[in-house]
Chains A and B, each alone.
Chain A
Amino acid sequence: MIYGISQLGYLVASALFIFALHWMNTPATARKGVYAGVAGTMIAVVVTWAEPAVIHHAWIVVAIAAGFVVGVPLSKVPLTAVPQRTALSHAFGGAAAGLVGTAEYYLRLSEGGEYLTPFRMIALIAEIILGYLTLTGSLMAAGKLQEVKWVPQRPVTYPLQNISNLALFGLALALAGAITRSPTAAWAPFVFGGIIALALLFGVLLIIPIGGADMPTVIAILNSYAGLSAVAMGFVLDNKLLITAGALDGSSGLILAIIMCNAMNRSFTNVLFGAFGQVKASRAAGEEKVYKSETVEGAAQVLEQANLVVIVPGYGMAVAQAQHKVRELYDQLKKRGITVKFAIHPVAGRMPGHMNVLLAEADIPYTDLVEMDEINPDMPQVDVALVVGANDVVNPAARTEKASPIYGMPIIDADKARSVFAIKRSKNPGFAGIDNELYFGDRTWMLFGDAKNVIGELVKQLAGGSGMH
């Protein structure tokens, strides 16, 4: 009877989760998706809490209350910090799976170990490896994104890195094999602890060779791992809701990672084991090229004459917190009857969809946010392409230079616009450490300075020029 009710609850929750994701297919219905997710979670929590096996309640209440105390402020971070928050939440998800797996193992071991069938042991080990690896890996990723001092920003590489990582992973698998065969042996608890330690270490080692430009992919992969660790927990507990929800999360992370990889023309293995940021040797060679810089006044005049302006935002816009100033510029141009679109590269920013959220925050209608593939055919008709803190995603070297590390990556064809203004903080190359041909193009003019200030000046010029205020 009770079993039937809880299973029914889980079934309904599973269906609600699927609907939640289904409703995310358009912004118009997306908020319904959140409500469905909340409803599903609440049902699952209530029926689980009501299980007769749950007899102690004080700690549950305290832990849930603590979750609210930490969770509410975490949901109010500025949107530029969303990548860090997301990485942190993957860490929490991984930690939860790892801890429950650890508790399950030592509990069942103390009960004699009949429960620890080979299948459960495999699931348990998958759960703790994925869980703890996600925990440290995501913490490292969050640290890199937050630019915490003791986490190296630049990719860290050393000789035999991939081989030693693989060896560590092989060792973990060997230990896993041994403990699966004899989960109750005298040495088994220590081996279990050893696997945990290896997983924690492996998470760190996996992330240190990865540079900031690859963060969108890595966050998506960690998202997938966090989901899969929940699946493994579902196998251990024989809970189909956990398996369903985890599989949804796992496939979501996988699809996002594939989209990110395609958008960079790179493979999974290349992102994880390629140490992208190291490639910068080719840069020193070649003659000194000169930038043409332009004044804000001049740029404002050109903008005023345009019919179609495309703004290409990048991570630099997020760093400078320039999205609200961009909105003011958008308003100024719109007021003159100029069509303004935003060209969004899938890997612009530090996580999938990062730019869209920042621009939506600045109150720019999402109908003006255009994907790369849709806007590229129109680029030759664009009067002004305004590049705001984007670099590699508009670098024409991706089309032409075989030696370039970004060769083959699809880019936004800003260089095909009739004129290009690029706002750049300094004359240094971008995250990938590569010179950008776009900046030296015939029709490109540079606006040096902080993106927020430069756009603020542009807005002032446009506002002043039209005789208002």
Chain B
Amino acid sequence: MDFWPTLYVFVLASFIGLGVIRRVSRLLHTPLMSLTNAISAIAVVGSILVTGGDYPPRIRALGAIALFASMTNIVSGFLITDRMLRMFKTDRRPPTEPGARSGGGS
């Protein structure tokens, strides 16, 4: 197998990653982490190939566990990222009337 092309992809993708991530707003570092986590759960691709291939059951069982783990990351990663990002707002509700709302909104 010629592995040089894959090494090229890795090095170039790393540079893109460094360039893009450096510009990510510091406000968003927590959602960034959950987002990259969901994206790297693309390892799901490898799990599907192992789980669905014509292989002995014990091999496929390992794949199925890996598939479950990746899928969990995909689902929870994207959902929680979106949930967090929804909270970042510039303008809140219009200024409340005096006394209209002094209690908590939690």
Interface residues of A (CB under 8 A from B): 13-14, 17-18, 20-22, 24-27, 30-31, 33-34, 37-38, 40-41, 44-45, 48-49, 51, 53-57, 59-60, 62-64, 66-68, 70-72, 74-77, 79, 82, 85-86, 89-90, 92-93, 95-97, 99-100, 102-104, 106-107, 110, 117, 119-120, 219-220, 223, 226-227, 229-231, 233-256, 259, 324-325, 327-328, 331, 334-335, 344, 346, 351-354, 356-357, 360-367, 369, 371, 463, 468-469
Contact = CB atoms under 8 A, between A and B. Distances in A.
B63 A99 contact: yes
Task: Give the 8 A-B residue pairs with the shortest CB-CB distance, closest first.
Answer: A67-B71, A71-B75, A353-B29, A251-B17, A54-B52, A75-B79, A249-B40, A247-B13
A254 B93 CA distance: 37
A245 B77 CA distance: 14
A229 B73 CA distance: 15
Contacts of B3: 119, 235
A59 B63 CA distance: 9
B55 A79 contact: no
B11 to A, nearest CB: 8
Interface string B84-100: 11111111110110110
A230 B85 contact: no
Contacts, number: 401
Interface string B62-74: 1111111111111
Most buried by B among A20, A63, A95, A346: A63
A356 B98 contact: no
A97 to B, nearest CB: 6
Contacts of B91: 365
Q: How large is the interface on B (under 10, 10 to 19, 20 to 34, 35 or more residues)?
A: 35 or more
Contacts of B44: 41, 44-45, 48, 96
A346 B17 contact: no
Which secondary structure dominates where chain A touches chain B? Answer: helix
Contacts of A250: 14, 17, 40
Interface string B12-46: 01101110111111111111111111111111111
Given A64-B67, A324-B104, A346-B26, 19 more contacts: A34-B81, A41-B44, A54-B48, A56-B51, A59-B63, A60-B48, A71-B75, A89-B72, A96-B41, A99-B47, A107-B50, A107-B55, A219-B33, A239-B45, A239-B46, A240-B9, A244-B9, A353-B33, A360-B89
Contacts of B84: 79, 82, 357, 360-361
B72 A51 contact: no
